[in-house]
Amino acid sequence: MSFLSIMIDGAWQTDVPTTPDLDARLSRVRSFTDRISPEPEARFPVEPGRYHLYVSYACPWAHRVILMRSLLGLERAVGMSVVHPDWQGRGGWTFEAGALSDADPNFGARHLAEIYARSAPRYTGKVTVPCLVDRVSGRIVNNQSCDIMEMLGQALLPLARHPVDLYPADLRGQQEAVSRWIVRHLSSAVYRVGFARSFAEFLSNLIALFAALEETERRLGAGPYLFGERLTAADLHLFTMLFRFEVYAYALRCDLRPITDFPNLVSYRQRIAALPEVIPTLRPDHVAIHYPRHLSEIPSEIDAWLERARAGTSS
């Protein structure tokens, strides 16, 4: 049986056993999906200084939002606070002033769960980053990384100090399709490997993950970025996954082959990591704290199989 740390009826709870009833209840949870809009009379209008991000440098979903904010130069227009990377041992995502995290400047909250409760006092569900908050109403606007990226890169683009178009109109459909593919077959796939509940499930997910890496390797042979010479939002999805790949290999057993077997992926990762706006967002210390060795509880036979596979003797 697996266990969750979640909010139930507005209260934070740890080690909650998963049951069919709980799974069904969580499947009905409505995430925060409001939008910032330039339209007249919008509930959440475009205003500098009005919105604040809660993020983790360790979390790949939050990292892509941090990257978007930094690449566009939205630091003055949109505030940001970093939670502590040790998620499990501190009551969920936690604020504290120090080298690894910030105090909450808006509500004096100790935990991110408190901010969720402000917006939905009876909230039941996961407490996740990134989280975009409206400082005027004190409510969460949105906690979906793709939505927040789009708001930063489109609605709030007029406030950017260097407004790069990461959602080019002529690539809109293609860019969205590639981003969805990356999320499904790479970003989320590493967790399907690491949290597999049987050897058969693990093996199927592992093979699918490395097939997706091979496909991406071939695609990047055609240009420096996913769409040739043009950096787009899709690249932020891919980069945040690749930046953590060695940690996924260590913590989630995604280590059938080293990333060095994919030279195009390695060059691509190095190219993006060297961008001046990207460098400050890279915090491997946060990532290392967040992902302990072998998070999953999958059978020990998997380790033996991986050793044989890497030696070329698996069957």
* CA 66 vs CA 124, 152, 168, 169: distances in Å: 26, 10, 20, 23
Strand partners, 132: 53, 142
DSSP state of 225: B
Query: Distance from CA of residue 162 to its chain's centroid?
Result: 24
Under 8 Å between Cβ of 299 and 198: yes
H helix or E strand, kind and range, residue 129 = none
CA trace torsion 4, 8, 12, 16 (10° rounding): -30
Where b means 16+ CB within 10 Å and e means fewer, 135-171 reads eeeebbbbbbbbbbbbbbbbbbbebbeeebebbeeeb
What are the strands of the beta sheet with 78-82, ordered from one edge? 78-82, 51-55, 131-134, 139-142
Active site residue 225: no
DSSP state of 88: G
Active site residue 59: yes
* CA 161 vs CA 130, 150, 156, 179, 309: distances in Å: 22, 17, 11, 25, 50
Catalytic, out of 51, 59, 123, 225: 59
| Catalytic positions, written as ranges | 59, 191
